[in-house]
Amino acid sequence: MRRILIFLGVVYSSQLLAQAQSPSLEDFNRLLDFGETNFPDLLSPSTGTNRAEVIGSSWFYRDYGYLTPIQGGTGLVIAVSISGGGGFSPGDVYAIGGAYGTELVLVDTLSNLLTLVPDSPVPETTDTGEIGNGDLIIEYKAPNEIYHFLDSPNQAAYLYSESSLSEIESGNRMIPPDISISSEFSDGQSTEEFIESFRNGWFENYEDVSVVNINGYDVWVADDGRSTSPVSPELAAFVQVGGYTVVITSHYSASSYFDEVMERLNFVMRESTDD
């Protein structure tokens, strides 16, 4: 429950009273699209927004398998009161299901939560680069002229197709990357143990989990693209390098380049310097 609360932004002080305002569908979608992209283990599968008139108020909501069971659903409903009424204020965001239990829980106002959604300038593209985490450096290359990496934070790299980049440049910042590369400290875990704990075990129940050898490394590949109800992202790979686990995720639309991206990765461990 703590991670859900962190995402949903219960970070305002008790002295802050947010001004209630009628929410727009665009703002609610912006918040939930951001959540589904960055927290798929909490808000999955990606669903459309619905509208309902219940318990004295009108609502926008998304159902992640609480009202209607969905294979791979995380069992939550996230809703925002549109009109107020019935004891609810317009713009208040509520959650029910999962760690919240069977009663509506007030999370925050939509306007406060939207301050957590980044609206940074579109980064420059690059076809080669590196990311680092502690002693590990990951060097990457884009697979061909169709896909490009966006300059990104030091510990992650994101690959987009030209069509996705065009949408981002047009103002749609909620486009998920086709392929992402990141790394986590393994904390002494084996690759199998890491998969069982990473994102609360999100990937361990994928339809197919296998081990392949790429460039001398044992790579665990989780593939849910052929299941009857695939979850997102459909592909993930895990490889241990030093004391770190490198995580590569991909949507099935980019599956033909998934192996190529992994084969083009180069891992370098920084040499420790003794004073």
Q: Residue 197, class by beta-carbon neighbours within 10 Å (0-12 exposed, 13-18 middle, 19+ buried)?
A: exposed
Same domain, residue pair 187 and 245: yes
What is the number of alpha carbons within 13 Å of residue 200 lying toward its C-beta? 10
Instruction: Out of 57, 90, 114, pick the residue that ends a domain.
Output: 114
User: In the prediction, which pLDDT does 48 show?
Assistant: 84
What is the number of alpha carbons within 13 Å of residue 204 lying toward its C-beta? 11
List beta partners, residue 239.
219, 246
Same domain, residue pair 139 and 162: yes
User: In the prediction, which pLDDT does 244 show?
Assistant: 93
Per-residue pLDDT at 264 exceeds 50: yes
Does 224 reside within a domain? yes
Same domain, residue pair 108 and 135: no
Same domain, residue pair 104 and 173: no
At 113-161, the pLDDT tens digits run 887 776 655 556 778 888 888 889 999 888 876 677 765 555 678 888 8
Does 91 reside within a domain? yes
> What's the pTM?
0.60
Same domain, residue pair 139 and 255: yes
Same domain, residue pair 63 and 150: no
Contact (CB, 8 A) for 174 and 43: no
Same domain, residue pair 172 and 246: yes
Buried b (16+ CB within 10 A) or exposed e, 72-101: bbbbbbbbbbbebeeebebbbbbbbbbebe
Does 275 reside within a domain? no
Same domain, residue pair 146 and 256: yes
**Mean local confidence (pLDDT), 103-112:** 85
User: In the prediction, which pLDDT does 169 show?
Assistant: 74
Does 203 reside within a domain? yes
Per-residue pLDDT at 272 exceeds 70: no
**Mean local confidence (pLDDT), 186-193:** 92
Instruction: Out of 87, 114, 141, pick the residue that ends a domain.
Output: 114
In angstroms, the CA 104 to CA 102 distance is 7
Same domain, residue pair 46 and 160: no
How many domains is the chain partitioned into structurally?
2
Q: Where are the alpha helices (DSSP H) in the chain?
A: 2-8, 25-38, 110-114, 162-169, 191-197, 255-263
Same domain, residue pair 135 and 222: yes
Does 36 reside within a domain? yes
Does 120 reside within a domain? no
Does 274 reside within a domain? no
CATH of the domain at 223: 3.40.1000
Same domain, residue pair 103 and 19: yes
Task: Kindly indicate the confidence band of residue 172, based on its pLDDT and cuts at 50, 70 and 90.
Answer: low
Same domain, residue pair 66 and 140: no
User: In the prediction, which pLDDT does 20 show?
Assistant: 43
Q: Answer positive or negative: Cα dihedral of 107, 110, 115, 118.
A: positive
In angstroms, the CA 167 to CA 174 distance is 9
Per-residue pLDDT at 8 exceeds 50: no
Q: 147 or 173: which carries more pLDDT confidence?
A: 147
For 14, the domain range is 2-114
The radius of gyration computed from the CA coordinates of the chain, to the nearest angstrom, equals 20
Q: 170 or 223: which carries more pLDDT confidence?
A: 223
- Phi and psi at residue 106, to the nearest 5°: -70, 125
Instruction: Out of 114, 146, 175, pick the residue that ends a domain.
Output: 114
Does 182 reside within a domain? yes
